[in-house]
């Protein structure tokens, strides 16, 4: 008998079917991957198991007992822990305060048992291999270690089923390794892991079994190892996806150059990069290597301490994003909900936001052009939305990202800066976004793309610049691409242990 | 414009902590007067204060609280005591409840009430009008202009001020037995715009209203402007208190029947003279009753010109 | 439109209830008065709403109106300026105060609450100092100027009313400003920029929107409107008390804006909603007097009705989002 069994689970939201009779099971110590595109129902499934949403129909059996799962509290009490993709940590708290937040054990008169909780915190951290003092503030932990902290908390609450949503999407390879090592130990102890990810390679490497979801229904299962990447991708997309080979492009003259840029974060490192028209240059490096800082400074979003930015040989004073935009520079930022799109505005408004002045007369926006433009780009990028007036909030992550792209592509930018262009985006949308990056390059844009997913850069770029601690450590032309060598440079021999704590 | 510039400069000076003002009058005895708000009424009283400062050889700090509430007065009293004044004249806003506060001040200096009395406090004297008598004057004016009687409405900032209570009482006494009936009292918390809206609402709700009485100074202009805009000038009897510019003009136009004026110049003047005597230890100036009465006058159309000339001279405008 | 339904229902309910209890509520004179006050408070609320749209707050509008209300008679009566010079000068001054607020907020990154609270104190203090706290009025001289506050350019006959309603000019100012503002917000680059920066300032900035400039514009509009209302109010009442002129009006303005659907987090503004919000407040004050409810209960009644309005609104929102 399986440890956790889900039978015929259904859920609808406002008439839209999110889950339609989904069944799956997972055993103690088993690692089950759930594959599916955004909108396939993975999130709903996880939320129901975590008690965040309630199901309309279906049975959930845990350890032989049918369970109601009406609240988060109930799910936790049963030992089901969900680690969502968005961090829900308080950056100002200490690690141990965060660990026990909301479930403080008190002695008489409501006093906190300080010594007892310190010991327990150390034990919980050790369990996930997190070697940091419990008094450190959460904000100083790297994203990967924050992830481990959340898992530590779940395990301390006696989790028997761990549900992980895209756990590695913002981790460095090294951090991912640590996470998987910790998870492997828990697996030994009989914790069941439900794992949702777009990272096909990880699934292939780690999962014991894969269940596919498409449009809220079971779309198949890979019941036994070994399975290949294409097997998983087929399961995810519900169809075969061809790995597009990059078509060749011709490069024009140098279009965009960063010359002697110093960022606030790394004031002692000078960075110079040149990108030619039609060229796609990748920025590789670990988290904290300074990729985002360079892109933001080149766009005027953050002030640089020195340096010259030029477009087509003309020096541009990027005092603000407005000045950069005027010079034909565009940035699709890393943090989509905060900087990339306005979630509570319509798709049309978002796409038109950077082009308000196009066709405007005496300050009046050309509303017809705005509508036509929005609809054209929705069509062209295949943005899945009910209408151009729908709120961006209602779109899936991939489609939100396409909106952020469309906003800039509508201006035919001369320089396209991209920061993690496919983070949290499903396989299908990722392909489409890659294609639209290539199209922009083919149209003559100089593209500079930063990504923590090395595979993406290797597949997309004509050249890769490797950063470590704010400095350029090397550069590879397409013919010299090697994952191994990029990683070696990015991690650097000089990296002190614990530097990325 | 120079006042504005000076104001801005003054604000900066205070902001940078240079708060010690030069003492204009050297070693002269310092006394103070705290009003119950700001209006022309107190501007005239201030002229009287200045005159008395000269004749009695004292220096008087003149304070108008920004907000018409007891807390603002409390803060001013503390300031006055801290600055070492020997005597204080105050127009208490809420005489019944300010007794402890006044008694506390009376420990530190010679305390006198002006304009509005607090008989239950330890104040040494009251300089001002018997407001019940002022109310009676308003009442008899109403009886004159409304011989057939009718319903009237009263307007005032707050009913918890002693002068508001006493004026109302005086009006009631004077109209007792006549066919005039007080419908209600509408309060506006010191906001002239609200006072005007109150008058408009009264005209709307009671088309048969015969008389409107403004108990506080700004209520007069508010009544006047609402009545004239409604086209009811001459059809409603208006009686006001005090002598705002607009009110005097309204009397001349025949829209306002008359206004009951106190003599604020004498309030300020007599209060300072009394304080000077108290500060010098001369008890002779205080009447046995503790009340220094300054009688009211009724200004009708025939009196306006002479009254205005006198006012101008006192204000030095 | 559904967003304003709740408040419209509430307005109609309050009007119907009052008219049923006291038919004189529905008289041309009373409707005219209420329209006039709605005009003044509606203008103030719309100005404030523009700032709230950006996610800020303007606490200074009452004091700016107070200062403008003092400066207009002061320049005309005391300095002898011609009204045609005094009024524009006062308006320019008010806009200047708004620009200072905006610059302090965008350049020095001070909190809007703090900046405009200080604006409230400074303006009130200056108004009192300039006049020496004495009441000030226009005397008799300025009849043409007073017309911009008290004229009734035309009348509208409404069936069922005792007489044609003389439409007060203050209400026409409100209609005119509301129209201009609505068109500005929906159709122009500036309006779009204000909405975008209110919903997500970082994303707007990252899209090349001049967020700082438009924030300053928002505060300038708010203060400029406040100056205009202060001048109108002074002309209307013709007796300006520096310490109390338009005091606390910022609270009515904020209440009307929020009642009209503005979110204090920014990014939302319905011009019609704000006008309806201001109308409700004025009708309530009027109803309390007309129905002879003791004035002492005024605040309590207003507070309860605003709460009821907010509850209806939230209820409708939940129903429609289903």
B209 and B123 part of one domain: no
Mutate to test the interface with A, among C203, C215, C269, C317 (most CBs of A within 10 A): C203
Of A128-137, A343-352, C21-30, the least confident: A128-137
Q: Is the peptide bond before A226 cis (omega within 30 degrees of 0)?
A: yes
User: Looking at the domain assignment, is residue A368 inside a domain?
Assistant: no
B117 and B173 part of one domain: no
A200 and A322 part of one domain: no
Of A322, A344, A354, the CB nearest to C199: A344
Q: Which two tokens stand for residue A244?
A: 């597009």
C 233-292 residues inside an 8 A Cβ radius of A: 267
In this complex, do B197 and C285 lie within 8 Å of one another by their Cβ atoms?
yes
pLDDT at B20 over 50: no
Please count the structural domains in chain A. 2
Query: What per-residue confidence (pLDDT) applies to C190?
Result: 93
User: Looking at the domain assignment, is residue A366 inside a domain?
Assistant: no
Convert the pLDDT of each residue in A15-50 to its tens digit: 567 788 899 989 988 889 988 766 678 888 888 988
Q: Which residue of C has its CA nearest to B245?
A: C139
C 133-152 residues inside an 8 A Cβ radius of B: 133-135, 137, 139-140, 150
Q: What's the mean pLDDT in C101-126?
A: 95
Query: What per-residue confidence (pLDDT) applies to A170?
Result: 66
pLDDT at A242 over 60: no
- Asked if A29 and A192 count as a contact pair (C-beta separation under 8 A), the reply is yes
Of A178-182, B38-42, C283-287, the least confident: B38-42
In this complex, do B11 and C150 lie within 8 Å of one another by their Cβ atoms?
no
Residue C296 near chain B (CB below 8 Å): yes
Of C193, C196, C205, the CB nearest to A345: C196
Chain mean pLDDT for chain B: 85
pLDDT at A501 over 50: no
Of A98-107, A277-286, B19-28, the least confident: B19-28
In this complex, do C289 and B39 lie within 8 Å of one another by their Cβ atoms?
no
The alpha-carbon gap from A296 to the nearest alpha carbon of chain C, in Å, equals: 9
Query: What per-residue confidence (pLDDT) applies to A322?
Result: 93
Q: What's the mean pLDDT in A5-16?
A: 80
A142 and A36 part of one domain: yes
Residue C193 near chain A (CB below 8 Å): yes
Of B258-272, B303-317, C153-167, the least confident: B303-317
B201 and B244 part of one domain: yes
Mutate to test the interface with A, among C186, C195, C206 (most CBs of A within 10 A): C206
In this complex, do C296 and B187 lie within 8 Å of one another by their Cβ atoms?
yes
Residue C155 near chain B (CB below 8 Å): no
User: Looking at the domain assignment, is residue A497 inside a domain?
Assistant: no
A231 and A259 part of one domain: no
Query: What per-residue confidence (pLDDT) applies to A493?
Result: 40
Q: What's A392-421 look like in SS3?
A: HHHCCHHHHHHHHHHHHHCCCCCEEEEECC
Whose CA is closest to B130, among B307, B289, B311?
B289
pLDDT at B16 over 50: no
B140 and B245 part of one domain: yes
The alpha-carbon gap from A401 to the nearest alpha carbon of chain C, in Å, equals: 13
Query: What per-residue confidence (pLDDT) applies to C223?
Result: 97
CA distances from B203 to A95, C147, C169 (A): 69, 22, 20
User: Looking at the domain assignment, is residue B309 inside a domain?
Assistant: no
Query: Which stretches of chain A sit within 8 Å of chain C by CB?
Result: 14, 299, 301, 320-322, 324-326, 331, 333, 338-345, 349, 352-354, 356-357, 360, 363-365, 367, 407
Within 8 A of C134 by CB-CB distance, chain B residues are: 38-40, 42-43
Query: What per-residue confidence (pLDDT) applies to C105?
Result: 96
Within 8 A of B44 by CB-CB distance, chain C residues are: none
In this complex, do C207 and A407 lie within 8 Å of one another by their Cβ atoms?
yes
Mutate to test the interface with C, among A353, A358, A389 (most CBs of C within 10 A): A353
C-alpha to C-alpha distance for B77 and B82, rounded to whole angstroms: 8
Provide the pLDDT confidence category of residue A498 given band limits of 50, 70 and 90: very low
Provide the pLDDT confidence category of residue C320 given band limits of 50, 70 and 90: low
Of A15-24, A133-142, A485-494, C54-63, the least confident: A485-494
pLDDT at A289 over 70: yes
Please count the structural domains in chain B. 2
For A177, the domain range is 4-237
User: Looking at the domain assignment, is residue B280 inside a domain?
Assistant: yes
Within 8 A of A401 by CB-CB distance, chain C residues are: none
End-to-end CA, chain B: 19
Which CATH number fits the domain that encloses residue A107?
A: 3.40.50.300
User: Looking at the domain assignment, is residue A379 inside a domain?
Assistant: no
The alpha-carbon gap from A3 to the nearest alpha carbon of chain C, in Å, equals: 36
B30 and B74 part of one domain: yes
- Asked if C199 and A345 count as a contact pair (C-beta separation under 8 A), the reply is yes
Query: What per-residue confidence (pLDDT) applies to B155?
Result: 95
Query: What per-residue confidence (pLDDT) applies to C46?
Result: 97
The alpha-carbon gap from C57 to the nearest alpha carbon of chain A, in Å, equals: 20
Within 8 A of B229 by CB-CB distance, chain C residues are: 150
CA distances from C190 to A56, A321, C197, C209 (A): 46, 17, 11, 9
Q: Which residue of B has its CA nearest to C236?
A: B225
A54 and A119 part of one domain: yes
Q: Domain spans of chain C?
A: 37-313
Of C190, C199, C322, the CB nearest to A345: C199
Q: Neighbouring chains of B at 3+ CB pairs within 8 Å?
A: C
pTM: 0.76
Residues counted in chain B: 317
User: Looking at the domain assignment, is residue B103 inside a domain?
Assistant: yes
Query: What per-residue confidence (pLDDT) applies to A104?
Result: 67
Q: Do the chains A and C touch each other, judged by at least 3 C-beta pairs below 8 angstroms?
A: yes
A219 and A332 part of one domain: no
Residues counted in chain C: 322
Query: What per-residue confidence (pLDDT) applies to A329?
Result: 95
User: Looking at the domain assignment, is residue A400 inside a domain?
Assistant: no
For B275, the domain range is 26-129+263-295
Query: What per-residue confidence (pLDDT) applies to C74?
Result: 92
Q: Which residue of B has its CA nearest to C288?
A: B201
Of C187, C192, C206, the CB nearest to A321: C206
C-alpha to C-alpha distance for B173 and B111, rounded to whole angstroms: 31
Which DSSP string do the residues of C272-297 spell out, in sequence order? HHHHHHHHHHHHHHHHHHHTT--GGG
Higher-pLDDT residue of A427, B157: B157
Whose CA is closest to B199, among B182, B180, B222, B174?
B222
A192 and A325 part of one domain: no
CA distances from B312 to B48, B258, B260, B305 (A): 13, 19, 18, 11
In this complex, do B230 and C29 lie within 8 Å of one another by their Cβ atoms?
yes
C-alpha to C-alpha distance for B158 and B167, rounded to whole angstroms: 12
- Asked if C206 and A321 count as a contact pair (C-beta separation under 8 A), the reply is yes
Which CATH number fits the domain that encloses residue B172?
A: 3.40.50.2300
B144 and B255 part of one domain: yes
Mutate to test the interface with C, among B49, B192, B248 (most CBs of C within 10 A): B192
Within 8 A of A325 by CB-CB distance, chain C residues are: 207-208
In this complex, do B245 and C122 lie within 8 Å of one another by their Cβ atoms?
no
Within 8 A of C37 by CB-CB distance, chain B residues are: 197
Convert the pLDDT of each residue in C210-264 to its tens digit: 999 999 999 999 999 999 999 999 888 777 888 888 888 999 999 999 888 888 8
Neighbour tally for B252: CB within 10 Å: 14
A134 and A217 part of one domain: yes
In this complex, do B225 and C238 lie within 8 Å of one another by their Cβ atoms?
yes
A183 and A258 part of one domain: no
Mutate to test the interface with B, among C32, C130, C244, C299 (most CBs of B within 10 A): C244
Question: How many Cβ contacts (< 8 angstroms) between chains B and C?
Answer: 128
Query: What per-residue confidence (pLDDT) applies to B306?
Result: 93
pLDDT at A485 over 90: no
In this complex, do B192 and C244 lie within 8 Å of one another by their Cβ atoms?
yes
Tokens 């402890």 appear where? B100
3-state DSSP helix/strand/coil % of chain B, to nearest 5: 50, 20, 35
In this complex, do B186 and C240 lie within 8 Å of one another by their Cβ atoms?
no
B138 and B252 part of one domain: yes
A232 and A292 part of one domain: no
User: Looking at the domain assignment, is residue B185 inside a domain?
Assistant: yes
Q: Which residue of B has its CA nearest to C162?
A: B204
User: Looking at the domain assignment, is residue A377 inside a domain?
Assistant: no
Mutate to test the interface with C, among B9, B15, B38 (most CBs of C within 10 A): B38
pLDDT at A75 over 90: no
The alpha-carbon gap from C253 to the nearest alpha carbon of chain A, in Å, equals: 25
In this complex, do A365 and C202 lie within 8 Å of one another by their Cβ atoms?
no
């Amino acid at each position: 008998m399986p440890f956790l069994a889900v039978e015929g689970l259904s859920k609808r939201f406002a008439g839209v079917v999110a889950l339609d009779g989904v069944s799956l099971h997972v055993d103690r110590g088993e690692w089950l991957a759930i594959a599916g595109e955004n909108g396939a129902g993975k999130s709903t499934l996880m939320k129901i198991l975590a008690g965040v949403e309630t199901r309309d129909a279906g049975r959930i059996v845990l350890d032989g007992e049918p369970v109601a799962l009406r609240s988060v509290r109930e799910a936790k009490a049963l030992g089901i822990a969900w680690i969502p993709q968005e961090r829900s940590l308080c950056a100002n708290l200490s690690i141990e305060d965060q660990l026990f937040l909301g479930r403080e054990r008190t002695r008489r008169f409501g006093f906190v048992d300080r010594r007892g909780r310190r010991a327990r915190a150390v034990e919980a951290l050790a369990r996930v291999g997190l070697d940091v003092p419990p008094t450190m503030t959460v904000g100083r932990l790297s994203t990967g270690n924050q992830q481990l902290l959340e898992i530590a908390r779940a395990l301390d609450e006696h989790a028997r089923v761990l549900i992980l949503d895209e756990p590695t999407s913002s981790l460095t390879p090294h951090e991912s390794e640590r996470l998987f090592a910790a998870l492997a130990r828990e697996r030994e102890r009989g914790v069941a892991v439900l794992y949702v990810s777009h990272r096909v390679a990880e699934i292939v490497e780690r999962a014991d079994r894969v269940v596919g979801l498409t449009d809220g229904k079971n779309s198949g299962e890979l019941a036994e190892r070994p399975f290949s990447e294409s097997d998983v991708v087929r399961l995810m997309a519900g169809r075969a996806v061809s790995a597009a080979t990059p078509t060749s492009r011709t490069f024009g003259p140098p279009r965009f150059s960063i010359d002697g840029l110093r960022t606030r974060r790394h004031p002692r490192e000078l960075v110079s990069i040149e990108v030619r028209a039609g060229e796609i240059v990748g920025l590789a490096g670990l988290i904290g290597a300074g990729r985002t800082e360079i892109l933001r400074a080149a766009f005027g979003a953050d002030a640089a301490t020195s340096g010259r930015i030029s477009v087509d040989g003309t020096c541009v004073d990027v005092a603000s994003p407005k000045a950069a935009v005027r010079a034909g520079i565009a940035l699709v930022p890393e943090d989509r909900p905060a900087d990339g799109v306005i979630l509570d505005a319509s798709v049309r408004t978002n796409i038109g936001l950077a082009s308000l002045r196009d066709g405007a007369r005496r300050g009046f926006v050309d509303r017809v052009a705005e509508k036509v433009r929005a609809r054209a780009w929705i069509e062209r990028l295949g943005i899945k939305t009910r209408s151009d007036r729908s709120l961006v909030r209602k779109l899936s992550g991939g489609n939100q990202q396409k909106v952020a792209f469309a906003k800039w592509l509508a201006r035919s930018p001369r320089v396209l800066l991209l920061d993690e262009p496919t983070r949290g985006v499903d396989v299908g949308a990722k392909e489409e976004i890659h294609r639209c990056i290539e199209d922009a390059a083919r149209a003559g844009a100089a593209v500079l793309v930063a990504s923590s997913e090395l595979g993406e850069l290797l597949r997309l770029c004509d050249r890769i610049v490797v950063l470590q601690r704010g400095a350029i450590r090397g550069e590879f032309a397409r013919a010299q691409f090697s994952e191994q060598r990029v990683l070696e440079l990015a991690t650097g021999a000089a990296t002190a242990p614990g530097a990325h704590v | 414009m120079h006042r504005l510039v000076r104001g801005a400069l003054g604000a900066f000076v205070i902001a940078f902590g240079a708060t010690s003002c030069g003492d204009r009058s050297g070693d002269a005895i310092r006394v103070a007067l705290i009003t119950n708000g700001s209006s022309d009424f107190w501007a005239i009283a201030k002229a009287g204060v200045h005159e008395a400062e000269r004749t009695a050889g004292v220096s008087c700090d003149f304070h108008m609280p920004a907000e018409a509430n007891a807390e603002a007065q409390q803060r001013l009293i503390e300031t006055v005591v801290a600055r070492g004044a020997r005597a204080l004249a105050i127009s208490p806003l809420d005489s019944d409840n300010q007794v402890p506060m006044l008694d506390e001040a009376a420990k530190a200096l010679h305390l006198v009430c002006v304009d509005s009395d607090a008989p239950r406090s330890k104040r040494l004297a009251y300089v001002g009008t018997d407001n019940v008598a002022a109310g009676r004057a308003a009442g008899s004016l109403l009886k004159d202009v409304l011989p057939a009687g009718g319903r009237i409405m009263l307007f005032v900032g707050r009913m918890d001020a002693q002068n508001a209570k006493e004026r109302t009482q005086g009006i009631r006494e004077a109209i007792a037995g006549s066919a005039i009936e007080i419908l209600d009292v509408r309060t506006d918390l010191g906001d002239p715009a609200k006072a005007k809206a109150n008058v408009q609402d009264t005209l709307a709700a009671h088309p048969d209203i015969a008389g409107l009485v403004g108990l506080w100074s700004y209520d007069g202009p508010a009544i006047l402007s609402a009545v004239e805009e409604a086209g009811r000038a001459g059809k409603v009897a208006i009686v006001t208190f005090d002598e705002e510019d607009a009110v005097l003009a309204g009397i001349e136009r025949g829209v306002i029947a008359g206004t009951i004026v106190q003599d604020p110049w004498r309030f300020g003047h007599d209060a300072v003279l009394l304080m000077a005597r108290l500060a010098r230890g001369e008890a002779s100036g205080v009447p046995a009753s503790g009340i220094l009465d300054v009688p009211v006058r009724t200004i009708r159309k025939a009196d306006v010109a002479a009254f205005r000339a006198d006012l101008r001279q006192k204000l030095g405008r | 439109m559904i967003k304003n339904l709740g408040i419209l229902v509430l307005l109609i309910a309050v009007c119907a209830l009052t008219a049923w209890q006291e038919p004189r509520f529905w008289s041309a004179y009373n409707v005219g008065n209420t329209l006039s006050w709605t005009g003044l408070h509606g203008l103030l609320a719309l100005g404030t709403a523009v700032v709230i749209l950006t996610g800020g707050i303007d606490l200074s509008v009452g004091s700016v109106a107070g200062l403008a209300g003092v400066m207009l008679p002061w320049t005309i009566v005391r300095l002898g300026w011609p009204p045609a010079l005094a009024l524009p000068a006062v308006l320019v001054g008010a806009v200047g105060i708004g620009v200072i607020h905006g610059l302090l907020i965008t350049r020095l990154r001070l909190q809007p609450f703090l900046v405009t609270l200080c604006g409230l104190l400074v303006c009130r203090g200056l108004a009192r100092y300039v006049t020496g706290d004495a009441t000030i009025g226009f005397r008799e001289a300025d009849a043409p100027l007073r017309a911009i506050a008290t004229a009734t350019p035309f009348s509208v006959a409404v069936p069922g009313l005792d007489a044609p309603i003389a439409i007060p000019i203050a209400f026409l100012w409100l209609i005119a400003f509301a129209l201009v503002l609505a068109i500005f917000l929906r159709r122009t680059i500036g309006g779009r920029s204000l909405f975008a920066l209110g919903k997500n300032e970082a994303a707007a900035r990252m899209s090349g929107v001049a967020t700082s400039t438009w924030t300053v514009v928002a505060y300038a509009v708010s203060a400029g409107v406040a100056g205009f209302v202060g001048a109108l109010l002074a002309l209307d009442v013709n007796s300006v008390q520096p310490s109390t002129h338009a005091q606390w009006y910022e609270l009515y303005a904020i209440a009307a804006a929020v009642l009209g659907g503005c979110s204090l987090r920014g990014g939302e503004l319905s011009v019609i909603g704000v006008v309806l919000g201001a109308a409700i407040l004025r009708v309530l004050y009027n109803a309390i007097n007309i129905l002879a409810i003791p004035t002492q209960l005024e605040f309590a009644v207003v507070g309860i009705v605003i709460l009821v309005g907010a509850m209806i609104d939230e209820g409708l929102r939940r129903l429609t989002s289903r």
